[in-house]
Structure 1
């Protein structure tokens, strides 16, 4: 596993993590290949999730693909049409306040969307572990007012770590997660 930025190193010390966050953490640091080539790891996620016919180029937005492979590996259901970020607003159950490991769905310009996992928040942004953020699996800050859905996985018993996390407002605020 690639190391997390120092501001998020606490995630690796926290156990147990929510299963989806645990699976997402393993993928941190995966990036697209520059130029016309594709990262075979990302294309492998499409095969693993049965989406290879719909997804065959890592230049295609892949935040929904990232969530699909994370959900599948965590033993959670994958939403119908998972490549469309906004479809993740149908995942699990709605929540009013985000907790560690919840899915956050965001609006973007031109009606598209973005999806990722909550790792914390500050006064104006959610800190999101997701795919296709600066062409990779990264943690980025996304304005809270862009969030259109907070969705919680179904738990038999939620892990003790599944709670809201207050973080410092470090790092730039993302305006385009591609």
Structure 2
């Protein structure tokens, strides 16, 4: 894993939920430009059972990233639907207010996008996810694009650090995550 940017290093100290810990291990993973694919991304497809139709990292992989993280943390999902970002609106339980590491589903031109809530400012959510500028990383997405916020069904109770994170920083808004 690449080192997290200093302004987000606080995430590595959170220790929970387990999806956060697992996802951060992949920060900086890049798809291969041009011909060929990143073997790690293709291995994720194999791990979650979609390698039969997911054969190239040029295919949108935000849902694949969320899916492999969910699987490694013991959360159920539909392998047949995980690549379709908007299908994540049916996963877990509805979260009325997005909080740390909820799965957020967004609308985008021609489809959807899915990633993990890191924080927010007045106008946008900071999202950690896959296929954000062709990498696993951070991006800002306008709040008006939010379709759903979903939270894992915790087996032993919700971790105490699940909370709304207010950030004073701003960033360039992403308009199309592919």
TM-score normalised over the length of structure 2: 0.96
Deviation of 1:96 (Å):
1.1
Deviation of 1:104 (Å):
0.0
Task: State the alpha-carbon separation in 2 of the partners of residues 41 and 9 from structure 1.
Answer: 24
Q: What whole-Å deviation, never above 9, does each CA across 1:13-72 have from its counterpart, x for those lacking one?
A: 222x11111111111110011111110000000001111012000000000110110100
Any conservation in 1 of the 2:12–2:21 contact (CA below 8 Å)?
Answer: no
Any conservation in 2 of the 1:91–1:151 contact (CA below 8 Å)?
Answer: yes
Any conservation in 2 of the 1:123–1:169 contact (CA below 8 Å)?
Answer: no
The residue correspondences of 1:166-177 to structure 2 (distance < 5 A) are: 166-177=166-177
Task: State the alpha-carbon separation in 2 of the partners of residues 82 and 14 from structure 1.
Answer: 27
Runs of 5+ in structure 1 lacking a partner?
none
Deviation of 1:169 (Å):
3.0
Runs of 5+ in structure 2 lacking a partner?
none
Q: What whole-Å deviation, never above 9, does each CA across 1:70-89 have from its counterpart, x for those lacking one?
A: 10001111235100000000
Structure 1 segments (4+ residues) deviating >6 Å: none
Deviation of 1:107 (Å):
0.3
SS of 1:160's equivalent in the other structure is coil
Task: State the alpha-carbon separation in 1 of the partners of residues 8 and 172 from structure 2.
Answer: 15
RMSD: 1.0
TM-score normalised over the length of structure 1: 0.96
The reply on whether 1:20 has 2:19 as its aligned counterpart is yes
SS of 1:69's equivalent in the other structure is helix
Tell me whether 90-99 or 73-82 shows the greater mean CA deviation. Answer: 73-82
Any conservation in 2 of the 1:134–1:177 contact (CA below 8 Å)?
Answer: yes
The reply on whether 1:48 has 2:40 as its aligned counterpart is no
Tell me whether 135-144 or 160-169 shows the greater mean CA deviation. Answer: 160-169
- Give the structure 2 partner of residue 160 of structure 1: 160
SS of 2:89's equivalent in the other structure is helix
Any conservation in 2 of the 1:20–1:71 contact (CA below 8 Å)?
Answer: yes
